[in-house]
Structures are given as C-alpha cells and as structure tokens.
Amino acid sequence: MGRKLSCVIVGAGHRAVAYASYALTNPDELEVVAVADPSPLRRELAAKRFGLPPERCFESAEALAAGPMLADFAINGTMDHQHVPTSLPLLDRGYDLLLEKPFATNESELWTLVESARRNGRRIAICHVLRHAPFYEAIRSRVAGGLIGDILNVQAVEHVSYHHMGIGFIRGKWSRTDYCRSTMLMSKSCHDLDLLAWMKSGVAPVRVSSFGSNFQFRSERAPAGAGTRCVVDCPIESDCLYSARKHYLDHPKRWAFYVWDSLEHIDEPTDEDRLESLRTSPYGRCVWKTDMNVVDHQSVVVEFADGCTATLNMIGGAAKPSRSIHLVGTHGEIQGNLEDSRFAVRHIDPRPGHEYSQEIVDLNVGGDMTGARGGHGGGDERLVADFLRYLNGESPSLSSTTLDDSIAGHLIGFSANRSLDEGRTVDIDLRAPRGVG
C-alpha cells in the first residue's frame, strides 16, 4: 500500500465518518488526526471514535486551515452547499481532498473549485463511490476493453425507495433547494450521471433535455382526512404507507443517522425518546404536507459528441430500491442490476437456430447500501483505498474520479435542471471559462 497516511475530517456527518472509519479497520494505512465541525456534539463523537485530543477538534474548516498542516489530506463530508466554501481554505492551506458529491451546486461554484485546485496544485477525488462498486467496475473494464464495440446508447435507471424518498427528499435535508441548494437529481443521482459520462469516457456530452416534476407528494394528493404530523394529529396514520411511525419507529435503525439526529446525545434512545422526537422533528411530518420543492421523478436525455445517446430515469417512491444499466454497442450489449450484482454480456449470433450468445457475470456482492465490503455495493471502502494509493504515487485507477473526471457528469446535471426549468434543450460546454487554468 505504501506509507501510512493521515487525514482530517471536515463535516463529521454520516458520509465523512463512514469514509474515515477505514482508519479503524486498516490502521496501518490511515490515521484520523483531527476533526472540524460546528456541532460540539459531532466533534465530541468523532473525538471519541478516533481518539482525538481537544486541541485537534475545530469549529470550522477555516479554523482548521488557519493553523499548521496536520495531515496529508482532508475528508470533506459537509452538506452540498458547503462543499466549495469549506474546500477553498483547505486547498489554499495545502490539503489534498476526498470530497463528497456533488462537489458543487452550480456551474460557478464548479469552476471556482477547479481554479483553486489547479492554482494550488492539489489533488481532489470526488466520492462517486459507485465507480468503485465491483458491479460497475467490472462493466466499465469490459467497455474499456472494447468487448461490445463503440457505445451507441446507455440506459440508466434509479428507483429510489419510498422510505429513502421520505427520509431524504420529502422530510429531510435535501427537500428544499433553498436550503441544500442541490436538486434531487444532483443530490441523489449525481452518481448515475457520473456513470453515464464514465461509460463514455473521452467523449464529451454536448446537449441535454430533461423532464420531471413532483407528481405525488403534494397537498392536493393527500389521502382524505390526513393530518399534518403522523403521530400528533393524523387519524389515518395506521393505514398510511408513509406513516412516520411505520417508517422510523418500526425500523429504528434503517435511517438512524438522519432521523434520530436530535437524539445523538443519548447513547441508547428509548422508544419514547424516538416517539417524542417525531412529534416535533421534520421527520414526523405528513409527506403530502411538507414544504418540499424538489421533484419526485425526472428523466434526462443526453447526446454525446460522437452521436451516442444516453438516458437516466430517476423515480422516487418505488417499492424496491434499484439501480440498473443497459449499454448497447456496435458489437454487443451489457445489461444488469446493481442490487443483484449480476449482469449479462450479449453478442449477436446469426447462426441458424440462434439469435444471440449470452454470458452471465455474477459478482456475488451485496447491493446498494449493504455488503461485506461496505456500502454502495462495496464501493465505500474501495474508494478510500484507491485514493490512498493515488496519494502514494500510483497512477489513477480505472475507477478513480479526479476533479477533472467529475466535471462532465456535473455539467450534465446542471444543464438537465436548466432544461427542466426552461423547457428547452441545453448545450453543454466543457471548456473552462477564461481565468481557469
């Protein structure tokens, strides 16, 4: 692996702590030496988890960056709209970054970060963890090897489960663009947009169209008699599929790191603690009567410079979470599902009595949020290991997502949202504005 590296955590939430926990399972490779977070409780929890002294706990990225360099790199897991403002002082101070996606919330921010990274000569990897999932890595390696020829069409689909939709995009942190400043497409399906660009690596996306809306979770579609808070004033709660009691009290560990954030100071919350939290927290609201302003479904159509087309369909509220992909090339096709961790490779077979040949590749890895090797189909742990190898001087792997590699996927997303808002096809320009090196 090379020399042991050190890191600091900026934004000690679920994602950053998940990446940093690589240090606990691989102590010969990585050490966490400091944390920066405005929440005293988050700082305290991180200090306890990673054995940090009080002088290594900072209230902000700016306070951390104002002092001497403490580590080889920073893991930035702040909220979407904080990614660029917190990264700039770290880059100026000399830190390389492992930065959560989406790394920016608009094109201006994107180019500001690119300019800073280039000016400071810093290395940034974006946490597109699905590139590191064995499922997508195996598909990409076959595409890169020319197994199915030139790609003429890519179809990606993400079905966001009803409980993920409820916790994140109706009741949760990503329900309003004026708060997190990211759309649902960028917050949830930034991974999938990146995969489209990655499968066509080296070929620029040139234009995009998009359609979508909040079809379902609006007050006029609320069931008759629905209250405003599930465990406070709703007489139909017991029959409701989106009951907060059913989603969170009956499944207290499913989204614990989000829904019970107000109980982080309690080591072992009781059912009554959780019930009391739902009476007042955003997670107890009726899903049809929140102030969400994001879509619940969106379709994106992309054209690439070589004439290839690609689609992404993101649908929130599905019974089963699922990510699937289907690539059609000039010499064959690949089709599979992440949760199954299995895909088919097909080739034309014009022999009498035949139509096509098929090979099934079964990787025997857990699905999107589970698996023996970490979350996102095994991608979380592999992402960190890949970044450590990169910092130790190895060439970026096939899955590595450097900052420059992530630009195309982000610009597809920003352009898709502009298309949705303005009702027109939007051209994509990957060229940096004047002044960006």
* 308 and 409 in a common domain: yes
* 308 and 191 in a common domain: yes
Residue 57 pLDDT greater than 90, yes or no: yes
In a domain, 383, yes or no: no
Residue 149 pLDDT greater than 50, yes or no: yes
pLDDT of residue 372: 39
* 414 and 313 in a common domain: yes
Give the structural domain span for 54: 5-122
pLDDT of residue 364: 81
Neighbours of 65 (CB within 10 A): 24
Please state whether 347 falls in left (phi above 0), alpha (psi between -120 and 50) or beta: beta
Which residues have a Cβ under 8 Å from the Cβ of 1 and sit 6 or more positions away? 28, 29, 385, 388, 389, 392
Q: Which of 97, 122, 147 is the last residue of a domain?
A: 122
In a domain, 436, yes or no: no
Residue 388 pLDDT greater than 70, yes or no: yes
Cβ proximity of 224 and 234 under 8 Å:
no
Cβ proximity of 436 and 425 under 8 Å:
no
Find the CATH number of the domain harbouring 59. 3.40.50.720
In a domain, 53, yes or no: yes
pLDDT of residue 376: 56
Report the domain count for the chain. 3
Residue 93 pLDDT greater than 70, yes or no: yes
In a domain, 387, yes or no: no
Q: Which of these, 191, 177, 90, lies nearest to 131 by C-alpha position?
A: 191
Residue 374 pLDDT greater than 70, yes or no: no
Tens digits of per-residue pLDDT, 98-138? Answer: 999 999 999 999 999 999 999 999 999 999 999 999 999 99
Question: Taking the complete model, does pTM exceed 0.85, yes or no?
Answer: yes
Cβ proximity of 65 and 92 under 8 Å:
yes
Residue that the structure tokens 């409780």 belong to: 41
Provide DSSP, 117-157: HHHHT--EEE--GGGGSHHHHHHHHHHHTTTT-SEEEEEEE
pLDDT of residue 330: 97
* 298 and 203 in a common domain: yes
pLDDT band at 435 (very low <50, low <70, confident <90, very high): confident
- Helices 403-422 and 184-199 sit at what angle, rounded to 10 degrees? 120
Cβ proximity of 98 and 32 under 8 Å:
no
pLDDT of residue 368: 46
pLDDT band at 369 (very low <50, low <70, confident <90, very high): very low
Neighbours of 257 (CB within 10 A): 15
Q: What is the average pLDDT score of the chain?
A: 94
Instruction: Give first-to-last CA distance, the chain, whole Å.
Output: 32
In a domain, 343, yes or no: yes
CA 209 remoteness from chain centre: 22
* 78 and 118 in a common domain: yes
Mean pLDDT of all residues in 71-92: 97
- Reported in sequence order, the residue ranges of 330-390 that DSSP labels E, i.e. its strands, are 333-337, 342-348, 356-362
Residue 338 pLDDT greater than 70, yes or no: yes
* 136 and 116 in a common domain: no
pLDDT of residue 379: 81
pLDDT band at 60 (very low <50, low <70, confident <90, very high): very high
DSSP label at residue 402: B
Average the pLDDT over each of 140-154, 303-317, 327-341, 373-387 and give the range with the smallest value: 373-387
Residue that the structure tokens 């399906």 belong to: 189
Bond prior to 102 in cis (omega within 30° of 0): yes
* 145 and 84 in a common domain: no
pLDDT of residue 375: 58
* 419 and 277 in a common domain: no
For residues 154 and 139, what is the distance between their CA atoms, to the nearest angstrom? 12
Cβ proximity of 46 and 64 under 8 Å:
no
pLDDT band at 377 (very low <50, low <70, confident <90, very high): low
* 153 and 102 in a common domain: no
In a domain, 407, yes or no: yes
Mean pLDDT of all residues in 396-412: 94
pLDDT of residue 366: 55
Residue 371 pLDDT greater than 50, yes or no: no
Q: Which of 99, 122, 145 is the last residue of a domain?
A: 122
Mean pLDDT of all residues in 83-96: 98
* 226 and 117 in a common domain: no
For residues 109 and 124, what is the distance between their CA atoms, to the nearest angstrom? 15
pLDDT of residue 265: 84
* 111 and 37 in a common domain: yes
Find the CATH number of the domain harbouring 418. 3.30.360.10
For residues 16 and 20, what is the distance between their CA atoms, to the nearest angstrom? 6
Residue 170 pLDDT greater than 50, yes or no: yes
In a domain, 289, yes or no: no
* 211 and 223 in a common domain: no
Pairing mode of beta strands 124-126, 356-362: unpaired
Q: Which of 250, 284, 318 is the last residue of a domain?
A: 284
pLDDT band at 224 (very low <50, low <70, confident <90, very high): very high
In a domain, 385, yes or no: no
Cβ proximity of 390 and 400 under 8 Å:
yes
CA 297 remoteness from chain centre: 17
